[in-house]
Structure 1
Amino acid sequence: MSIWFTEKQTQSFGITGKINQILENEKTEYQQLDMLETEQFGNMLLLDNMVMTTEKDEFVYHEMIAHVPLFTHPSPKKVLIVGGGDGGTVREVLKHSSVEKVTQVEIDNKVVEYSKKHLPHISSSFGDSRTELIIGDGFDHIIKSNNKYDVILVDSTEPVGPAAGLFTKGFYAGIAKALKEDGIFVAQTDNPWFKAELIRNAIRDTKEIFPIARLYTCNIPTYPSGMWTFTIGSKKYDPLDVDPNRISDINGQYYTPELHQASFVLPKFVQNLCK
């Protein structure tokens, strides 16, 4: 008998994968957490029945959320990650030699615990001396910070449950205050096929707070529709002005100097969301 998991991406559409075994199944203080061993994508982390990451395709998301802003900023030293308890974003951030400290604020310690256990390649940098892991509320941390970070990365789940407040204009305004005068932030902002209004709101709010606001995309097969967006807000540096020759080899599998520029080339229907 085969076991299959379906993430219902809308009420009438989903993506399905064959499961070899269920590794973890727990209702944490904040959300439903499942760790599955899938036949196609290796170990897979689910939160509230939504795919967060898999062993096979995780590099796309983590490289794109980290390297686009970190190569846009000329000398990022202090970086904040909100969410991202699997550890993949930390791993990519630490590939930048200028980074002196990464502070990660994850609300659910169980995400960190089970990622260390079942996703060791993704969570491999939690023990790095430059990493500070705080189990707490990222929204509160942002509000209490002032002129502190060069780059802030919002590596959140969907806008439900504990992550709902991370998609508000008030949160983006708090990020602007927590950033230094030339700071940059990036937030994952879902997909344009099913969450067009979310993207429209995110880019509009970012434009009202930051002098430079742009949207970029990548392809992640286990995420809804496969097409994923990130919203970047910058106080000074435009990601489109980055010299490709300044982008060093990060030993990645997706991000390249050419892709840095190309990821900002949007299909017309996505361009329309940014107006």
Structure 2
Amino acid sequence: MTDLWYSEYHTDDVRFSIKVTKQLCSEQTPFQKIDFFESETFGTFFTIDGLMMVTQKDEFAYHDMITHVPFAVHPAVKRVLIIGGGDGGTAREVCRYPGVKHIDLVDIDERVVRLCQQYLPQTAAVLDKDPRVHMHFEDGLQFVGRAQEGEYDLVLVDSTDPVGPGEGLFTNTFYQNCYHALADDGILINQHESPYYPAYAHEMLRAHSKIKNTFPIARVYQFYIPTYPSGHWLFGFASKKYDPIVDFQPDRWNALGLKTKYYNTDLHTAAFALPSYVREMLEHGE
């Protein structure tokens, strides 16, 4: 019997592969192709248009770092907007904060949510169980464009790469609409690509330049996730008021007693200490 392998090309001559024990689902939607697989090492994982999205084994790294960093800085997040995030992992982490009153989750493709609820309940179970979560199946760019001024305390852009349905979430218009939708002390976190391979670094720099031109505070922080290209991945932190280091409140966050697998308050400040080559790219745009 021939082995089945999932492979993703990170560059033309570099690829990442996982041996698949079973293919659970393959579906072409009006927006993208969604596949779910099982593997021994990474458990259930799913891809969109052949690109890795989430695995059972390492999803905690991504969802911890997109969520807990801003919550450890902003003292009173009540209204949250999640753009993308159809796997539910980001919403799961946001729902752990009792002070949050309302969560809007906007994903263009309902099938991502429904298939994750079926095959990846580890991340998606909260979506139908917490009444604070309100799901909207439409284009995130259009949704945030209709938001009222100052409607949200926190916007989390949990997007795919800037191709296909995710392309509009890396534009000047989108970031300007996010600025409008955020309160005077609001924070934007965006999936910021990787600095390592040139094609990803190019998109990272494009996004950073646009955010820096929109928000008075724009920083970048890093985390490590084995199944994403190079394993070295970034988030962008943008705010109208709060600096992620100066306004960081570790004692307040620790008092919440949240158990996490990746994020902790010692790591928080360190995550903004970037390698020299990344700092130089961000400073010079090269």
**TM-score, normalised by the number of residues in structure 1:** 0.98
Unpaired runs of at least 5, structure 2: none
- The residue aligned with 1:159 is 162
**Contact map agreement 2:162 2:203 (CA 8 A) in 1:** no
Cα separation, 2, equivalents of 1:54 and 1:118: 11
Matched, 1:29 2:35: no
The correspondence of residues 123-134 of structure 1 with structure 2, limited to 5 A, is 123-127=124-128, 128-134=130-136
Matched, 1:136 2:118: no
Deviation at 1:243, TM superposition (A): 2.6
256, 263, 267: which one aligns with 2:271: 263
- The residue aligned with 2:217 is 212
Unpaired runs of at least 5, structure 1: none
Deviation at 1:246, TM superposition (A): 1.8
Residues paired across the two proteins, number: 275
The correspondence of residues 34-183 of structure 1 with structure 2, limited to 5 A, is 34-127=35-128, 128-146=130-148, 147-183=150-186
| Paired AA for residue 73 in structure 1 | H
For the residue of structure 2 that corresponds to 1:258, the secondary structure is helix
What do the CA deviations read for 1:214-237 (whole angstroms, capped 9, x no partner)?
000000000000000001110001
What do the CA deviations read for 1:32-75 (whole angstroms, capped 9, x no partner)?
10001112100001000000000000000001001111221110
Matched, 1:227 2:232: yes
Cα separation, 1, equivalents of 2:100 and 2:175: 23
Deviation at 1:273, TM superposition (A): 2.0
Aligned-pair Cα RMSD in Å: 0.9
- The residue aligned with 2:253 is 247
What do the CA deviations read for 1:144-167 (whole angstroms, capped 9, x no partner)?
012200000000001110100111
**TM-score, normalised by the number of residues in structure 2:** 0.94
**Worse-matched range after superposition: 193-202 or 263-272:** 193-202
Identity over aligned residues, as a percent?
Answer: 41
Deviation at 1:250, TM superposition (A): 2.1
- The residue aligned with 2:5 is 4
For the residue of structure 2 that corresponds to 1:171, the secondary structure is helix
**Contact map agreement 1:83 1:155 (CA 8 A) in 2:** yes
For the residue of structure 1 that corresponds to 2:124, the secondary structure is coil
Cα separation, 2, equivalents of 1:244 and 1:183: 19
**Contact map agreement 1:184 1:232 (CA 8 A) in 2:** yes
Cα separation, 1, equivalents of 2:277 and 2:172: 23
**Contact map agreement 1:199 1:273 (CA 8 A) in 2:** no
